[in-house]
């Protein structure tokens, strides 16, 4: 069985490596401490079926130090990211031995097998940098007049939960970071959570709390005008209380509980003219 996924690979970019080779001996070793850290992802094909493991080791002439029958998994890493083939790496487990794929090892049979390996990413978004709300399924549908929302909304209908997670993450980044580039790794397993950030400008980070919207309980002081359709008189009611819920009043309106005035009674407690 072959399973294709992506693997994060850590890398160090050393400024000292840009020096001419002739001057390398004179370069102080302390200059290597200035290496910059970054991470990249590369497609990885995992082979776990015994027959496929043996066939691939035979085709690529892989001779691990451990017994062949103890090899439990083989990973082929597309280091060059141009498709599986020459100059990529093969990792044998459980020993972790690595082997470079030489161009002469790629026979027509091996090339045919490797060309069938495809990345099995369950969800991926690649596109222009747009507003986070444009990726939310409900908001994207409401704003379907914009081309970016149309594309995101159509996809969000198929995977609304995934697009909602993407929108939440993007909204948090846009709210707290004003820089251009930022890389984030988020991985959750049954063992715990891993979050890493790199490739960003620390000075452009600024905490901004999310907009929580109006609270459930609001204190108000306002006036309600009760207009009578059969009268030119209106009642003014002052409100100074805690609003806990909304009450819908029938169209005909409430009837005043005040005692009727002398000489007659009206629905709102005032004499008709």
* 36-47 vs 73-77, strand pairing mode: antiparallel
pLDDT value at position 57? 92
pLDDT value at position 236? 54
Phi, psi of 130 (to 5 degrees): -120, 175
pLDDT value at position 82? 86
Q: Is the pTM of this model over 0.75?
A: no
- Give the DSSP letter string of 149-173: HHHHHHHHHHSHHHHHHHHHHHHHH
- The series of mean pLDDT values per 10 residues for the chain, 273 residues long, is 62 39 53 71 89 91 92 92 89 95 87 82 83 77 47 60 91 94 90 91 94 61 52 53 60 62 51 40
pLDDT value at position 177? 96
* Burial class of residue 202 in the structure, from the number of CB atoms within 10 Å of its CB (0-12 exposed, 13-18 middle, 19+ buried): exposed
pLDDT value at position 188? 92
């Amino acid at each position: 069985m072959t399973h294709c996924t992506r693997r994060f690979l850590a890398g160090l970019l050393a400024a000292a490596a840009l020096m001419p080779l002739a001057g390398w001996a004179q370069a102080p070793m302390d200059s290597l401490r200035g290496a910059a850290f970054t991470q990249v992802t590369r497609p990885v094909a995992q082979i776990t079926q015994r027959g496929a493991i043996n066939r691939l080791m035979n085709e690529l002439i892989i001779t691990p130090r451990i017994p062949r029958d103890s090899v439990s998994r083989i990973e082929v890493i597309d280091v060059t990211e141009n498709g599986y083939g020459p100059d990529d790496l093969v990792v044998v487990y459980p020993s972790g031995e690595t082997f470079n794929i030489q161009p002469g090892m790629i026979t027509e049979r091996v090339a045919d097998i490797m060309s069938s390996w495809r990345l099995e990413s369950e969800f991926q978004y690649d596109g222009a940098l747009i507003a986070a709300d444009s990726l939310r399924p409900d908001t994207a549908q409401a704003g379907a007049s914009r081309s970016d929302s149309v594309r995101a909304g159509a996809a969000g209908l198929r995977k609304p939960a995934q697009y909602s997670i993407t929108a939440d993450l993007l909204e948090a980044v846009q709210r707290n970071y004003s820089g251009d580039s930022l890389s984030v790794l988020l991985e959750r397993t049954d063992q715990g959570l891993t979050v890493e950030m790199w490739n960003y400008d620390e000075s452009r980070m600024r905490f901004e709390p999310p907009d929580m919207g109006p609270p459930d309980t609001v204190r108000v002081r306002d006036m309600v005008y009760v207009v009578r359709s059969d009268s030119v008189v209106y009642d003014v009611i002052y409100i100074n209380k805690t609003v806990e819920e909304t009450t819908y009043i029938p169209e005909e309106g409430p009837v005043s509980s005040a005692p009727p005035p002398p000489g007659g009674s009206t629905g709102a407690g005032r004499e008709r003219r």
